DNA sequence: TCTAATACATACCAATTAGTATGTTTATGC
DNA sequence: GCATAAACATACTAATTGGTATGTATTAGA
């Protein structure tokens, strides 16, 4: 990677962390410059505007991260129910970068920007749909293997599961990680009713 | 109500609507002044700061609204499962003021402000806990009436239900109200497994 | 090695932010 | 009706915002 590409990546990475903790609008460009030690000239050389940087951040940082943690663990699932549960559990309590207090980066961005910026909304919908599809497919595989009842509607269930995750991430921002435990216990109950 | 009290109430009401659509930080005081036709002098006569107004808004507008739509419908529930379902359904599709695109006012505020402002967080936790308690109590009543299986953990279930609502409200901001239907169908499934 | 584009640096700008200082009007109790 | 405080109005401020104008290094290809 060229030096310039490294600078660009570093800006995206640090901005991602700041925005995760503070929100997109509350994170000023000057704030980013101060923590990256990059000058304004460099920033606006790599990105036409703050929004262009934000979009790049979604596609180049958020998307790969979500794919690795939310889609990959489901590929070729041999034990769909437990793998879905494990994936959600891992997201909640096994990724050190993600803190209950700050929620989930993708959910945060949807909350803040979906109603305000159409291009952000579209980019974030793609993320959500990809995760939801991966879950639905996993459930379908489970049905083929007779591990999941055939009357389970995989798309409805996937929607329900994604909503639950998004919601507990929101709740965790207010209540702390303590609320993850009852949620996970009940998620397990819900999932086991599918078999 | 005195004229001054009316002014105060009007500021809170209009600010609530603006903040619901734009977010708290994105709604400037000047923006509020422009839509309320109130002058800066009047605003700062009634509220020491923007944050004091925001807190008053939670306690005097958000709280009563949430109580009426989220707690009252559950009081003396004779048919707990269907009443819980009906309450969630009403929240999602029967309150004209709430638009899928803009989500739920309380959830929005938690997302944006819980990590940033401790006093906002506390006020919003009170709201959430009250709703969760009301749902848990309703489930307990259902257990006493033999309408709900005694092995259902009411607190876990209440947490799971609240999380689901919060999450689908988030999803709706990105995807629109179309995602409410699959969610509600699966919620009904989940709830019926309790009886 | 020279050139020219790439990659960055500095200084600025107009608009907006929450908040204040200093008024003037309006209502209320006596 | 009159004093007094409550209720509002206007003009300002210092800080911050995203973005630009105009520079200077650095690097890669001919």
Contact call for A155 and B182, based on CB within 8 A: yes
How many angstroms separate the CA atoms of A106 and A83, rounded? 21
Give the pLDDT band of residue B173 (cuts 50, 70, 90).
very high
Q: Which nucleotide is nearest to B11 (CA to C1')?
A: D8
For the stretch B30-83, pLDDT in tens is: 999 999 999 999 999 999 999 999 999 999 999 999 999 999 999 987 999 999
- In this complex, which of B25, B165, B179 lies closest to A167 when CB atoms are compared? B165
Q: Is A21 on the interface with B (CB under 8 A)?
A: yes
Who touches strand C, with Cβ under 7 Å? A 2-4, 7-8, 38-42, 45-46; B 2-3, 25, 27-31, 40-41, 44, 48-51
pLDDT confidence of residue B1:
66
Cβ <8 Å between B190 and A160? yes
Residue A1: predicted pLDDT: 65
The DSSP secondary structure of A52-119, one letter per residue, reads: HHHHHHIIIIIHHHHIIIIIGGGTT-SSHHHHHHHHHHHHHHT-TT--GGG--HHHHHHHHHTTT-HH
Q: What is the pLDDT of residue B6?
A: 87
Q: Is B77 left (phi over 0), alpha (psi -120 to 50) or beta?
A: beta
Give the Cα separation of A147 and A139 in Å (integer): 9
What was the ipTM of the complex prediction? 0.94
Q: Where are the alpha helices (DSSP H) in chain B?
A: 3-22, 29-36, 40-46, 50-57, 63-66, 80-93, 105-113, 118-144, 154-175, 180-192
The alpha-carbon radius of gyration of chain A (Å, integer) is 18
Q: Is B187 on the interface with A (CB under 8 A)?
A: yes
Query: Across chain B, what does the average pLDDT equal?
Result: 96
B160 at interface of A, judged by CB pairs closer than 8 A: yes
pLDDT for the residue A6 = 87
Residues of A in contact with B174 (CB under 8 A): 110, 114, 121, 124-125, 128
Mutant choice from B110, B148, B164 vs A, greatest count of A C-beta within 10 A:
B164
Residue A14 CA, nucleotide C8 C1', distance (Å) = 19
Mean pLDDT of B143-156: 97
Given an 8 Å threshold on Cβ–Cβ distance, is A156 in contact with B21? no
The answer to whether B3 CB sits below 7 Å from nucleic acid chain D is yes
Alpha-carbon distance of A70 to A114, in angstroms, equals 21
Q: In this structure, are residues B122 and B187 in contact, taking their beta carbons and an 8 Å threshold?
A: no
The CATH number of A51-192 is 1.10.357.10
Residue A190 CA: distances (Å) to CA of A60, A159, A170, B80, B189 = 34, 13, 20, 18, 10
**A153 and B CB contact within 8 Å:** yes
pLDDT at B77: 79
How does pLDDT run across B105-133, given as a tens digit for each residue?
999 999 999 999 999 999 999 999 999 99
| Percent of chain B surpassing pLDDT 90 | 95
Cα distance from A24 to chain B (closest Cα, Å)?
Answer: 10
What is the structure's pLDDT at B5? Answer: 83
Provide the chain B residues 82-111 that lie in CB contact (below 8 A) with chain A. 101-103, 107-108, 110-111
Distance CA A170, CA B142 (A): 28
d(CA B190, CA B116) in angstroms, rounded, equals: 35
CB contact under 8 A, B160 and A164: yes
pLDDT at res. B3? 75
Of A107, A156, A187, the CB nearest to B185: A156
Of B157, B174, B189, which has the smallest distance from its Cβ to A186's Cβ?
A: B157
What pLDDT score was predicted for residue A2?
A: 77
Residue B193 has pLDDT above 80, yes or no: yes
Which stretches of chain A score pLDDT less than 70? 1
CA A195 to chain B, closest CA, distance in angstroms equals 13
CATH architecture, range B49-192: Orthogonal Bundle (1.10)
Q: How confident is the model at residue B11 (pLDDT cuts 50, 70, 90)?
A: very high
| pLDDT tens by residue, B126-147 | 999 999 999 999 999 999 999 9
> Are the C-beta atoms of A40 and A8 separated by less than 8 Å?
no
């Amino acid at each position: 990677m060229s030096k310039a590409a490294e600078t660009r990546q570093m800006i995206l990475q640090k901005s991602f962390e700041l925005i995760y903790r503070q929100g997109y609008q509350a994170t000023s460009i000057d704030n980013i410059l101060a923590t990256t030690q990059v000058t304004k000239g460099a920033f606006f050389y790599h990105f036409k505007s703050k929004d262009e940087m934000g979009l790049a951040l979604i596609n180049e940082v958020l998307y790969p991260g979500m794919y690795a943690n939310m889609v990959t663990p489901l590929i070729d699932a041999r034990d769909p129910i437990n793998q879905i549960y494990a994936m959600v559990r891992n997201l909640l309590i096994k990724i050190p970068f993600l803190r209950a207090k700050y929620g989930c980066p993708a959910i945060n961005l949807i909350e803040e920007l979906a109603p305000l910026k159409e291009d952000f909304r579209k980019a974030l919908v793609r993320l959500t749909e990809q995760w939801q599809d991966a879950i639905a497919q996993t459930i379908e595989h489970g049905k083929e293997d007779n591990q999941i009842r055939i009357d389970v509607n995989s798309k409805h269930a996937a929607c329900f599961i994604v909503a639950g995750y998004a919601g507990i991430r929101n709740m965790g921002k207010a209540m702390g990680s303590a609320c993850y435990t009852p949620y996970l216990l009940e998620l397990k109950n819900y999932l086991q009713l599918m078999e």
